[in-house]
């Protein structure tokens, strides 16, 4: 098949007429399909229902504390041990929080902005123009946190190895107003890229001009493989920072949001002893304690990293056919036309899709008009501004496979229409 660029004007016009007729057919179906966020499907939630009944009236943690009462603001010991296994750190370096790792990221950013990252360090609010590095395409909610505090965000291009480390190293070495970098190092949102060992080691060995520079490492998808026998390997980023003489430079975050229940999971952060001690002190002002009943529920149900892996294999059995469907439709409809590129990840929750420059917003709008809601074009960039207007995040996990197939066929159809319109223009 010829690419669209190779077609004559007459051929493009004829094809466009045929495609618009098909598009009108989709509009007449009155579809209502929502693929705007990466949510687990109903059957994935049902896998974990037995967790709700596993306490059996025993509300004592292993240290004898009644989890229904006050106390242990940084998490029960067995929950710390479970998250230490997930993140491959020492349990002493873990704080267990509430249901949202994003809330912990917000709290840590707020602490740094108002009080400084460690005792004796100046608050970020005292810096005239604090800045943050943002690998793109990336996670919109990360960008919302730094934007909330008025921290300027700088785009860092991503490739199949991770963020452009030449640029990262240069920027942080030259500018002490750069205070951190957002990272999703395994199965990145939205590209699905896992940072290479070289990238992780270079992150750990950074020599930033700002002594209070921090890596905000959101390991949201650390156990989210599509196939346990074909999973990406991630070098231990905390260990890389220790090896680079930068033990205090990284915060690790994760949660069970896409392991058990997104609405009532458990989150955790890991960091150096100095960071943990300081964070525990500041969090104790905010809360007497997070939901320890939920922490105990999760530990009794999951047990350890082997229990987590067993559940994630079951979760993958639901997610994998949907990612396969996405690849099948895109390859069938678009692979030979030269008008789009997309990722094919081994895990995570998203596929990153790139249109021809200047087409993403119109693709999003036409899909919405036909009843398929995608993540807003531009959302994967700071301030919602994609300089190329090309990236769309595909979130395939929630819809049934039959609905997903319809949505992907419509997306491919719209991409063809918008691409031809651009070429004819």
Overall domain count for the chain: 2
Q: Which of 274, 289, 308 is the last residue of a domain?
A: 308
Q: Which of 308, 340, 356 is the last residue of a domain?
A: 308
Task: Tell me if 195 is assigned to some domain.
Answer: yes
Handedness of CA 358, 356, 159, 164 (dihedral sign): negative
Q: How many CA atoms lie within 13 A of 374 on its CB side?
A: 32
SS3 readout for the chain: CCCHHHCCHHHHHHHHHHHHHHHHHHHCCCCCEEECCCCCCHHHHHCCHHHHHCCCCCCECCCCCECCCCCCCCCCHHHHHHHHHHHCCCHHHEEECCCCHHHHHHHHHHHHHHCCCCCCCCCHHHCCCCEEEEEECCCHHHHHHHHHCCCEEEEEEEECCEECHHHHHHHHHHCCCEEEEEECCCCCCCCCCCCCHHHHHHHHCCCCCCCCCEEEEECCCCCCECCCCCCCCCCCHHHHHHHCCCHHHEEEEEECCCCCCHHHCCEEEECCHHHHHHHHHHHHHHCCCCCHHHHHHHHHHHCCHHHHHHHHHHHHHHHHHHHHHHHHHHHHHHCCCCCEEECCCCECCCEEEEECCCCHHHHHHHHHHCCEEECCCCCCCHHHCCCCCCEEEECCCCCCHHHHHHHHHHHHHHHHHHHHHHHHC
Give the pLDDT score at 2: 85
**Tokens 């640029």 map to which residue?**
167
Task: Tell me if 355 is assigned to some domain.
Answer: yes
Residues 315 and 268 reside in one and the same domain: no
Task: Tell me if 384 is assigned to some domain.
Answer: yes
Residues 249 and 192 reside in one and the same domain: yes
Task: Give the integer Cα–Cα distance in Å for 70 and 78.
Answer: 17
* pTM of the shown model: 0.96
Residues 199 and 327 reside in one and the same domain: no
| Tokens (6 digits) for 31 | 């579809």
Residues 259 and 404 reside in one and the same domain: no
Task: Tell me if 50 is assigned to some domain.
Answer: no
Task: Tell me if 51 is assigned to some domain.
Answer: no
Q: Which of 308, 329, 363 is the last residue of a domain?
A: 308
Give the CATH number of the domain where residue 347 resides.
3.90.1150.10
Task: Tell me if 220 is assigned to some domain.
Answer: yes
Give the CATH number of the domain where residue 273 resides.
3.40.640.10
Task: Tell me if 319 is assigned to some domain.
Answer: yes
Tell me the residue range of the domain where 330 lies: 4-44+310-424
Reported residue count of the chain is: 425
Residues 238 and 286 reside in one and the same domain: yes
Residues 250 and 325 reside in one and the same domain: no
Task: Give the integer Cα–Cα distance in Å for 339 and 420.
Answer: 9
pLDDT in tens, the chain (425 residues): 689 999 999 999 999 999 999 999 999 999 999 999 999 999 999 999 999 999 999 999 999 999 999 989 999 999 999 999 999 999 999 999 999 999 999 999 999 999 999 999 999 999 999 999 999 999 999 999 999 999 999 999 999 999 999 999 999 999 999 999 999 999 999 999 999 999 999 999 999 999 999 999 999 999 999 998 999 999 999 999 999 999 999 999 999 999 999 999 999 999 999 999 999 999 899 999 999 999 999 999 999 999 999 999 999 999 999 999 999 999 999 999 999 999 999 999 999 999 999 999 999 999 999 999 999 999 999 999 999 999 999 999 999 999 999 999 999 999 999 999 999 99
Residues 263 and 335 reside in one and the same domain: no
| CA nearest neighbour of 38 among 417, 359, 345, 419 | 345
Residues 278 and 330 reside in one and the same domain: no
Residues 35 and 175 reside in one and the same domain: no
| Tokens (6 digits) for 337 | 């036309």
Residues 99 and 192 reside in one and the same domain: yes
Task: Give the integer Cα–Cα distance in Å for 30 and 47.
Answer: 32
| Tokens (6 digits) for 259 | 């392991």
Adjacent-strand bridge partners of 251? 216
Residues 206 and 99 reside in one and the same domain: yes
φ, ψ of residue 180 in degrees (nearest 5): 180, 180
Q: How many CA atoms lie within 13 A of 314 on its CB side?
A: 14
Chain centre to alpha carbon of residue 416: 28
Residues 288 and 158 reside in one and the same domain: yes
């Amino acid at each position: 098949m010829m690419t669209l660029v190779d077609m004559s004007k007459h051929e493009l016009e004829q094809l466009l007429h045929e495609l618009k007729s098909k598009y009108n057919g989709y509009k007449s179906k009155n579809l209502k399909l929502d693929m705007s966020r990466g949510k687990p499907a109903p059957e994935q939630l049902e896998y974990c229902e037995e967790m709700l009944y596993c306490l059996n009236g025993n509300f004592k943690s292993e240290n004898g504390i009644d989890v229904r009462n006050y106390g242990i603001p940084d998490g029960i010991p067995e929950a710390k041990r479970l998250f230490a296994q997930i993140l491959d750190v020492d349990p002493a370096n873990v704080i267990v929080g509430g249901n949202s790792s994003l809330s912990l990221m917000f709290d840590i950013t707020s602490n740094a902005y108002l009080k400084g990252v460690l005792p004796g360090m100046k608050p970020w609010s005292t810096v005239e123009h604090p800045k943050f590095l943002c690998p793109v395409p990336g996670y919109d909610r990360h960008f919302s946190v730094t934007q909330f505090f008025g921290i300027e965000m700088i785009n860092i291009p991503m490739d199949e190895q991770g963020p452009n480390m030449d640029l990262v190293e240069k920027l942080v070495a030259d500018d002490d107003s750069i205070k951190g970098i957002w990272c999703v190092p395994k199965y990145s949102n939205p590209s699905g890229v896992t940072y290479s060992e070289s990238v992780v080691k270079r992150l750990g060995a950074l020599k930033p001009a700002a002594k209070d520079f921090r890596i905000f490492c959101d390991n949201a998808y650390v156990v989210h493989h599509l196939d346990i026998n074909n999973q990406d390997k991630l070098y231990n980023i905390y260990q890389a920072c220790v090896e680079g003489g930068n033990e205090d430079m990284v915060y690790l975050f994760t949660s069970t949001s896409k392991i058990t229940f997104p609405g009532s999971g458990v989150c955790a952060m890991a960091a150096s002893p100095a960071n943990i001690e300081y964070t525990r002190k500041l969090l104790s002002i905010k809360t007497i304690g997070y939901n320890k009943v939920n922490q105990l529920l999760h530990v009794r149900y999951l047990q350890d990293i082997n229990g987590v892996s067993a559940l994630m294999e079951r979760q993958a059995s639901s997610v994998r056919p949907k990612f396969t469907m996405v690849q099948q439709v895109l390859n069938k409809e678009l692979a030979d036309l030269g008008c789009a590129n997309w990722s094919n990840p081994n895990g995570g929750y998203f596929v990153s899709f790139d249109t021809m420059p200047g087409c993403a917003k119109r693709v999003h709008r036409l899909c919405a008009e036909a009843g398929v809601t995608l993540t807003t074009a531009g959302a994967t960039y700071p301030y919602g501004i994609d300089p190329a207007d090309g990236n769309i995040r595909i979130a395939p996990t929630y819809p049934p496979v039959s609905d997903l197939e319809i949505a992907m066929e419509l997306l491919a159809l719209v991409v063809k229409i918008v691409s031809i319109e651009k070429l004819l223009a």
